[in-house]
A and B are shown apart, each in its own frame.
Chain A
Amino acid sequence: MADLTELYQQVILDHNRKPRNFRVIEDADRVSFGDNPLCGDKIKVYLKLNANVIEDVSFHGSGCAISQSSASLMTQSVLGKTVEEAIDLFTRFHSMVTTEIGSAIDETGLGKLRAFGGVREFPSRVKCANLSWHTLRSALESGTDSVSTE
């Protein structure tokens, strides 16, 4: 049975209260915008790349606890990674929150992001967790763009 404490884990509540890397990077190399029109969540992801490495990453915007904390934790986990590593992490995260209930989750390399393992029990909230990641991928793959997870 879905349990609230599975969804709203302490690390998620903490990052919602005090989002990390919540700022605008004025001289960003890449900026991408993402939104969930249905719930009104809006986010911008900023990237500074040095060759192929994410030298700085931040986000700005508003949304529910799941989308805000997901963005915050995402910036921490992709900082210093190469573009390919970050896209690999996107795939792993996406797979974790969309794996069918009952199937085992592959947690390899997810670290703190495992906190979002409970999201799959709440189908209407999966898009909240994914919003920042889709926005990041858009920034990584096509430069400045906008995405929507509706």
Chain B
Amino acid sequence: MSTIEEVVAVGGERALDAHRVRMDFPILHETVRGKDLVYLDNAATTQKPRQVIDALSRFYTSENSNIHRGVYYLSERATAAYEKARVSVQHFLNAQRSDEIIFVRGATEAINLVASSFGGTAIGAGDEIVVSAMEHHSNIVPWQLVAEQVGASLSVIPMDQSGTLIQAEYEKLLGPKTKLVALVHVSNSLGTVNPVKEMTAMARARGIPVLIDGAQAAAHVNIDVLDIGCDFYAISGHKMFGPTGIGALYGRADLLDSMPPYQGGGEMIRSVTFEGTTFADAPAKFEAGTPHIAGAIGMGAAVAYLEALGWNAIHNHEMELLEYATNRLSEVPGLEIVGRANERAAVISFVLEGVHAHDVGTIVDQDGVAIRTGHHCTQPVMDFFGLPATARASFAFYNTMEEVDLLVAALHRVREVFG
């Protein structure tokens, strides 16, 4: 019989000690109205470890200069750091080539880039774009804009009451007119982890390209674009412990080659005359202007941090949090969890009978508990469940069971106030 130590050794990962990990995150030691901050709004944005903050500070303190231009030492150093970050993101997503990684402002811009550049040429009048019922507005509105421009339409994969996409209905939507499937990996409002590999395979078997919105997945799931088989994958740095204002788009090299530029400007050209311009290859073709150099380096630092923790350890801790929080929240009278899919990330939306989510948010905030209330930029999801808003507790690997207890205690206080 194997001992626990041996099993752990075989897994190659130590268990995650959330209390120790928290030492890396300065903000988690802040107090709110004299109480310890309990940060449970990680789906909105994650906190930053010292390693990321230091990387930003180090860049501005000793490396700052523009990239891909100067022949001097500092510029070469900044260029190398920026391109090293691209390689980090490439490995993070398990892309084959670093030039398949384009730095953008965030997942929203990544999707807009594809909608504008790919959508503008590959989607035409009468064509269909398939999205799911649980998309964030950022994976709906860009497609509506392109659909309106070219005369295409949106088809929506329906979900059931548990917040699970109905695969049989999805398959029916894939037809000769379908030119793209745009699908969320992990739902920010329901926590559902969609079977993106299987769903991508269904589309690709019919020659339909697939974009995956991974904004919410990046903090919870070991992403592998080769395994998924998708054509595009979008992530945001700030939702994976990196800086705001930076994100990345993975695009399959052959598609990126065939796509026109997204924005025009410096960095993205090979030569410019007043008669015409020839464009650089990807990724430069899609990175007009001076990019968020420090942000990219910070995102690279976040990737390094996540890799050092290890996905098994992160996943196991988050699943423990999810199970514990689900059980403890069920003890609160009148509390109903919205989203009960089998495969879920540590995100729990809920409603409290007789109390509007907004009031819940204000009252628990008095105890230092930060949760999100509202529609979470998924109004169609709220409409589906017939709710104006939900409260949402979204966890990260640095959250603890004690914080779940504090949330539950604060929710009991809501019941006291409202009777």
Contacts and interface: CB of A to CB of B under 8 A. Distances in A.
Same complex: yes
B373 A8 contact: no
- Of B362, B382, B418, the most chain A CB neighbours within 10 A belong to B362
A39 interface: yes
Contacts, number: 50
A87 interface: no
Interface of B: 33, 355-359, 362-363, 366, 373-375, 382, 388-389, 417-419
B405 to A, nearest CB: 20
Contacts of A39: 357-358, 373-374, 388-389
Contacts of B418: 8, 13, 65
Given A13-B418, A39-B374, A65 B389 contact: no
Given A63-B388, A64-B359, A125-B362, 7 more contacts: A2-B33, A4-B363, A38-B375, A39-B373, A64-B357, A64-B358, A124-B362
Nearest to A1: B33
A68 B45 CA distance: 30
A128 B33 contact: no
Contacts of A62: 388
A8 B373 CA distance: 18
A45 to B, nearest CB: 18
Contacts of B388: 39-42, 62-63
A40 B389 CA distance: 6
Nearest to B418: A13
A63 B356 contact: yes
A128 B388 CA distance: 14
Nearest to A62: B388
A97 B418 CA distance: 22
Contacts of B358: 39, 41, 63-64, 66, 125, 128
Contacts of A124: 362
Contacts of A65: 355-356, 359, 418
A141 B33 CA distance: 42
Contacts of A8: 359, 363, 417-418
9 A-B pairs with the lowest CB-CB distances in the bound complex, closest first = A40-B388, A64-B356, A64-B358, A40-B389, A65-B359, A39-B358, A64-B359, A8-B417, A4-B366
A56 B366 CA distance: 39
Given A39-B374, A40-B389, A122 B419 contact: no
